[in-house]
């Protein structure tokens, strides 16, 4: 069996020192383009495979990136995880998934142990938990230790933490405006508001759309509930039991929208002829309902690519973009 090539073999083949090969592999020190080209050519010629784990341990870090998600049962987090894993693998990194279950104590405990875990980086995709000051402060301290922390779903650039967010306020404003123009009112709002940064932004978009037409928010038509199918069902059933009248529903997630649609249909109401419904997130099931759900698309692949770029920039000691904002696209289907 042929012995695997090592750094010394690459160095001899390229006519450079082992230290120079290490600098090229780490990307953390200046090497001329000519020298770098020779080293990369030698790596290809010899079929050299860097041991990323050993390199990481020598630097006091592993190759493991922790992804902390708010609740793995929610489709948005499952889709995000699916795209982040191959993006990290492309950098020679491994994924460690933590399901926070919307537990602030669990997130606080993990952030407090990051130094001992020797992680390569942390991705926090839990906007409801990140919105609390003590968690933000703890995340900032982790960042100060030289460990990259990336926030998804909430901008923490004020704390020096690079963030990736969607313009959810603008997205909801557009869809509520569309329903007001297409179906008239009133438009009810179904979504988590209190304790959720993204929920607050989405509700603000609803308020913006009403205000632009001189309409006041009717508190009876604002249903603050969890991002769950059952929450959508229960909220709409309760509203109908109370005799409330509404022509359309803007849901704060696709899961809630699907629950709302099921409740409407169970009461003999037609969608969209009697009540139009829109969601946000574009989970896979939304396209295969009857009627299919009108929603706003998410772009988890773009989020994953941005995360990979930020981690690579950190490795190369380049300045990190403080915030990356992604625009959602409006996906009109049969429900509105």
For each of the domains in the chain, give its residue range(s) and CATH number, in order of start: 7-50 (1.10.260.40), 62-166+300-327 (3.40.50.2300), 168-297 (3.40.50.2300)
Q: Is the pLDDT of residue 53 over 70?
A: no
Q: What would the two tokens of residue 126 be? A: 């839990």
CB–CB of 149/142 below 8 Å? Answer: yes
Tokens read off for 90 = 């492309």
Binning pLDDT at 50, 70 and 90, where does residue 195 land? confident
In the predicted structure, residue 232 carries a pLDDT above the cut 70: yes
Let me know: does 277 contact 271? Beta carbons within 8 Å.
yes
**What is the CB-side half-sphere exposure of residue 189 using CA atoms within 13 A?**
28
> Per residue in 101-111, is it b (16+ CB within 10 Å) or e — as a string?
ebebebbbebb
pLDDT at site 302 = 96
Residue 174, CB-side half-sphere exposure with 13 Å CA sphere: 16
Model pTM?
A: 0.79
Q: How far is CA 243 from CA 187, 221, 236, 238, in A?
A: 15, 11, 11, 9
Label the pairing between strands 222-223 and 248-251: unpaired
Say if CB 126 and CB 68 are below 8 A apart: yes
Query: What DSSP letter does each residue of 82-113 carry, written as one string?
Result: HHHHHHHHTTT-EEEEEE-TT-HHHHHHHHHT
pLDDT digits (tens, 9 = 90+) for 143-171: 888 889 999 998 888 888 899 999 999 99
Q: Distance from first CA to last CA of the chain, Å, rounded?
A: 64
Q: What is the Cα–Cα distance from 225 to 235, expressed in whole angstroms?
A: 8
Q: Does the pLDDT value for residue 257 go beyond 80?
A: yes
Residue 224: predicted pLDDT? 93
Q: Write down the pLDDT at residue 22.
A: 75
Nearest residue to 107 via CA among 145, 128, 79, 135: 135
Non-local (6+) Cβ contacts of 276 within 8 A are 179, 182, 183, 247, 248, 249, 294, 335, 336
Structure confidence at residue 69 as a pLDDT band (50, 70, 90): very high
Cα–Cα distance between 138 and 165 in angstroms, integer? 20
Residues 6+ apart with CB under 8 A from 28: 315, 316, 317
Given phi > 0 = left and psi -120 to 50 = alpha, else beta, which region is 259? alpha
- pLDDT mean across residues, the chain: 89
pLDDT at 220 over 80: yes
Of the candidate ranges 57-61, 107-111, 286-290, the one whose mean pLDDT is the lowest? 57-61
Q: Once rounded to an integer, what is the mean pLDDT over residues 66-71?
A: 93
| Residue 105 CA, distance from chain mean position | 21
Is the confidence at residue 128, as pLDDT, over 80? no
Give the DSSP per-residue string, 158-172.
Answer: GGTB-EEEE-HHHHH
């Amino acid at each position: 069996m042929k012995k695997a090539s090592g750094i010394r073999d690459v160095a001899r083949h390229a006519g450079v020192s082992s230290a120079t090969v290490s600098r090229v592999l780490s990307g953390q020190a200046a090497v001329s383009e000519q020298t770098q080209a020779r080293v990369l050519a030698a790596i290809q010629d010899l079929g050299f495979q860097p041991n990323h784990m050993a390199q990481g341990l020598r630097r006091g870090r592993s190759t493991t990136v922790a992804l902390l998600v708010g609740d793995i049962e929610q489709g948005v987090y499952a889709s995000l995880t699916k795209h982040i894993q191959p993006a990290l693998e492309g950098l020679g990194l491994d994924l460690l998934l933590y399901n926070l279950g919307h537990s602030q104590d669990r997130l606080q405990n993990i952030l407090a142990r990051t130094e001992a875990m020797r992680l390569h980086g942390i991705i926090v995709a839990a906007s409801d938990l990140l919105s609390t000051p003590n968690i933000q402060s703890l995340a900032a301290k982790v960042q100060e230790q030289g460990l990259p922390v990336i926030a998804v779903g909430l901008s923490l650039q004020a704390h020096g933490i690079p963030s990736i967010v969607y313009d959810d306020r603008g997205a909801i404003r557009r869809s509520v405006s569309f329903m007001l123009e297409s179906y008239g009112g009133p438009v009810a709002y179904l979504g988590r508001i209190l304790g959720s940064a993204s929920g607050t932004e989405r509700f603000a978009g609803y308020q913006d759309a009403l205000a632009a037409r001189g309409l006041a928010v009717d508190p009876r038509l604002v249903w603050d509930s969890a991002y769950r199918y059952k929450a959508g069902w229960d909220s709409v059933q309760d509203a109908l039991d109370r005799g409330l009248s509404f022509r359309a529903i803007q849901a704060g997630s696709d899961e809630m929208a699907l629950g709302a649609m099921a409740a409407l249909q169970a009461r003999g109401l037609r969608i969209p002829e009697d009540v139009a419904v829109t969601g946000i997130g574009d989970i896979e099931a939304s396209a295969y309902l009857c009627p299919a759900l009108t929603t706003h698309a998410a772009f988890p692949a773009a989020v994953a690519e941005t995360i990979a770029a930020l981690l690579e920039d950190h490795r190369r000691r380049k300045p990190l973009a403080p915030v990356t904002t992604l625009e959602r696209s409006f996906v009109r289907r049969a429900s509105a």
